[in-house]
């Protein structure tokens, strides 16, 4: 799929159709195109770099800025406005940016303009008339369309280079997998600087002619109201969002009755969230899987394949295998590293050739760093991150198993488990919990609860309570922060 061509075709063939609805307005196809031409003209006048920064809330303005940059053959670099100021300055310098498409509230959020960048303020532009825009070198399939910086959970953010062909392939793969079409409406709240939010709720509907409904802030009650009003057929979210929705006191099955798909990705979906959401809304959440480096979706558990902790078959055109530490390809139901190759796999990390080479094996398979297993039908289950695996007394233990148990306790809202050095056993489990409102912390009771459901050696040596678990902008728990918190965490006194 030629991504830019597909988007322009859908917008211009149906110019008066409302294709995007956000917190401020409804965008028709012609609106997105005209605004993109104005932004392109501003980029031409402002920037000499081949890469253009974008820092916008989840809205129709974001795809308009993407189309503008791609019309000029430029690469977009979405900036994660929730990163630290120093990380944002690092990203801007590493990407070689000289201009940033943004709005005033975003600049206020990060503490003002970034050094060396000229701001293209959309809230100060007038979008009247049709400006002249040169289209001598629009984005091509093999051109780098976007550089997405990882959230920096370990070290400095790395820029993942995705081509127009990578993203276009992933759009096509998703469309084929779940028969996504112009009849669908997708409800999106994920930040568009994230790979999940960029491809699925943004590029997928634009390139397939579907409609997108956005809201910039995740407010559970507002999301329900949008679902009731716009009748979406697909909702893409992360586990923490489903968790907040299932805690709504007045939620009913009618709230999301229009959905064909409710998909969870970004991190494993806890059993307690899956079950409670199903019971409250009569909706079965299907898990998906992918990484920024894979554009991002590689697996989607369709309803007919539904089983817990399964992320489904690989999407069309993706080869997937499970590999042992010694490089052997493993058989069905054996745990190993998930590796894959296909047209959606990244071109590499910007300015990091050695790191790029390290994540591909000799056959060109991308090393995900995730542990998983394929069953005899080719369905994938993710069991944990290789780096997060604990070895307790010689036994491999993954945090997720312990977290699933803790999350079932009546007092626990969410939990995270990491390894802690132990002179006798090598490692032991250290757990952190975030409590439900008005719940009290009882470490002994939590340990006893764990002993009822998992082997004794897996029971956390210590359980600490935090007011809030540290998360990245997409809601994923940042274990590196927890590692630092093992000696400096402020706990709530029971």
DSSP 65-82: HHHHHHHTTPEEEE--TT
Long-range contacts of 317-322 (CB under 8 A, 24+ apart): 317/169, 317/173, 317/342, 317/343, 317/344, 318/173, 318/342, 318/344, 319/365, 320/374, 320/378, 320/380, 321/365, 321/374, 322/372, 322/373, 322/374
Mapping DSSP to helix (H, G, I), strand (E, B) and coil, where does residue 221 land?
helix
pLDDT band at 152 (very low <50, low <70, confident <90, very high): very low
Q: What is the pLDDT of residue 474?
A: 65
The rounded distance, in Å, linking the Cα atoms of 166 and 65 is 19
Pairwise CA distance, residues 202 & 58, whole Å: 9
Model pLDDT, residue 135: 62
pLDDT in tens, 389-410: 888 887 778 888 899 999 999 9
Distance, in Å, from the CA atom of 27 to the CA atom of 14, rounded to the nearest integer, reads: 12
pLDDT (0 to 100) of residue 484: 52
What is the value of pTM for the model shown? 0.86
Q: What are the CA-CA distances from residue 203 to residues 2, 56, 148, 485 (Å)?
A: 12, 16, 15, 38
Average pLDDT for the chain: 92
The pairing of beta strand 18-21 with beta strand 26-28: antiparallel
Q: What is the pLDDT of residues 209-259, one digit of tens each?
A: 999 999 999 999 999 999 999 999 999 998 889 989 999 999 999 999 999
pLDDT value, residue 394: 74
Give the pLDDT mean for 111-126.
97
| Fold match, 3-374 / 389-488 | no
Confidence bin at 491 (pLDDT 50/70/90):
very low
Q: Which of 242, 380, 378 is nearest to 310 (CA)?
A: 380
Of 445, 285, 457, 315, nearest to 380 by C-alpha is: 315
CATH no. of 3-374: 3.40.50.12780
Confidence of residue 490 (pLDDT cuts 50, 70, 90): very low
Note the pLDDT tens digit of each residue in 253-289: 999 999 999 999 988 888 889 999 999 999 999 999 9
Sign of the dihedral defined by the CA atoms of residues 253, 258, 260, 263, in that order: negative
**What is the percent of the chain where pLDDT is above 90?**
78
pLDDT classification of 151: cutoffs 50, 70, 90? low
Helix (H/G/I), strand (E/B), else coil: 289: strand
Given pLDDT bands bounded at 50, 70 and 90, which one contains residue 134? low
Asked whether the beta carbons of 259 and 232 are under 8 A apart, the reply is yes
Contact 407, 272 (CB under 8 A): yes
When pLDDT is cut at 50, 70 and 90, the band that residue 384 belongs to is: confident
Per-residue pLDDT, 492 = 39
- 328-341 pLDDT tens trace: 999 999 999 999 99
Q: Where are the domains of the chain?
A: 3-374, 389-488
Q: Do residues 25 and 60 make contact, with C-beta atoms less than 8 angstroms apart?
A: yes
What average pLDDT does range 466-494 have in this prediction? 66
| Residue 402 three-state SS | helix
The residue whose two tokens read 């196809």 is: 29
- DSSP notation for 270-286: PHHHHHHHHHHHS-PPE
Q: Residue 494 above 50 pLDDT?
A: no
Residue 436 confidence (pLDDT)? 93
Question: Could you tell me what percent of the chain has a pLDDT over 70?
Answer: 95
Q: Tell me the C-alpha distance between 151 and 441, whole Å.
A: 31
Q: Architecture of domain 389-488 in CATH?
A: 2-Layer Sandwich (3.30)
pLDDT tens digits for 432-449?
Answer: 999 999 999 999 999 999
3-class DSSP state of 244? helix
DSSP 307-328: -TT--BEEPTT-EEEEE-TTSP
d(CA 378, CA 389): 24
Do the beta carbons of residue 471 and residue 240 sit within 8 Å? yes
């Amino acid at each position: 799929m030629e991504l830019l061509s597909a988007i322009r075709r859908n917008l211009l063939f149906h110019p008066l159709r409302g294709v995007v609805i956000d917190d401020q307005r409804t965008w028709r196809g012609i609106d997105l195109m005209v605004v993109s031409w104005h932004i392109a003209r501003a980029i031409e006048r402002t920037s000499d770099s081949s890469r253009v920064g974008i820092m916008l809330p989840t809205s129709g303005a974001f795809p308009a800025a993407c189309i503008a940059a791609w019309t000029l053959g430029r690469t977009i670099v979405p900036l994660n406005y929730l990163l630290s100021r120093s990380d944002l300055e690092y990203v801007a310098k590493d990407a070689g940016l000289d201009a940033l498409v943004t709005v005033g509230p975003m600049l206020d959020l990060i503490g003002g303009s970034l050094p060396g960048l000229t701001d293209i303020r959309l809230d100060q532009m007038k979008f009247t008339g049709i400006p002249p825009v040169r289209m001598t070198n629009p984005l091509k399939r093999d051109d780098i369309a976007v550089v997405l910086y990882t959230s920096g959970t370990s070290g400095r953010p790395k820029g993942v280079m995705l081509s127009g062909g990578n993203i276009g392939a992933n759009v096509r793969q998703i469309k084929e997998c779940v028969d996504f079409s112009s009849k669908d409406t997708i409800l999106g709240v994920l930040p568009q600087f994230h790979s999940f939010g960029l491809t699925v709720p943004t590029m997928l509907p634009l390139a397939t002619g579907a409609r997108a409904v956005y809201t910039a802030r995740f407010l559970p009650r507002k999301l329900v109201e949008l679902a009731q009003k716009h009748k979406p057929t697909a909702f893409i979210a992360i586990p923490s969002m489903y968790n907040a929705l299932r805690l709504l006191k007045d939620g009913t099955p009618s709230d999301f009755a229009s959905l064909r798909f409710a998909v969870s990705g970004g991190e494993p979906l806890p059993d307690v969230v899956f079950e409670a959401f199903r019971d409250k809304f009569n909706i079965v959440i299907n898990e998906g899987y992918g990484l920024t480096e894979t554009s991002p979706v590689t697996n989607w558990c369709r309803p007919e394949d539904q089983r817990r902790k399964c992320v489904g078959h690989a999407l069309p055109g993706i080869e997937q295998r499970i590999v042992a530490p010694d490089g052997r390809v493993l058989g069905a139901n054996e745990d190993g590293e998930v590796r894959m190759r296909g047209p959606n796999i990244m071109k590499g990390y910007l300015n990091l050739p050695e790191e790029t080479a390290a994540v591909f094996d000799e056959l060109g398979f991308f090393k995900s760093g995730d542990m998983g297993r394929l069953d005899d039908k080719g369905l994938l289950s993710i069991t944990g991150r290789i780096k997060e695996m604990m070895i307790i007394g010689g036994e491999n233990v993954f945090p997720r198993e312990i977290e699933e148990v803790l999350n079932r306790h009546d007092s626990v809202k969410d939990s995270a488990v990491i390894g802690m050095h132990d002179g006798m056993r090598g490692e032991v489990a250290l757990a952190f919990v975030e409590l439900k409102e008005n719940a009290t912390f009882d470490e002994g009771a939590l340990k006893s609860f764990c002993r009822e459901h998992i082997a004794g050696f897996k029971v956390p040596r210590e359980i600490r309570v935090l007011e809030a678990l540290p998360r990245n902008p997409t809601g994923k728990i940042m274990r590196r922060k927890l590692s630092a918190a093992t000696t400096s965490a402020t706990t709530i006194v029971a």
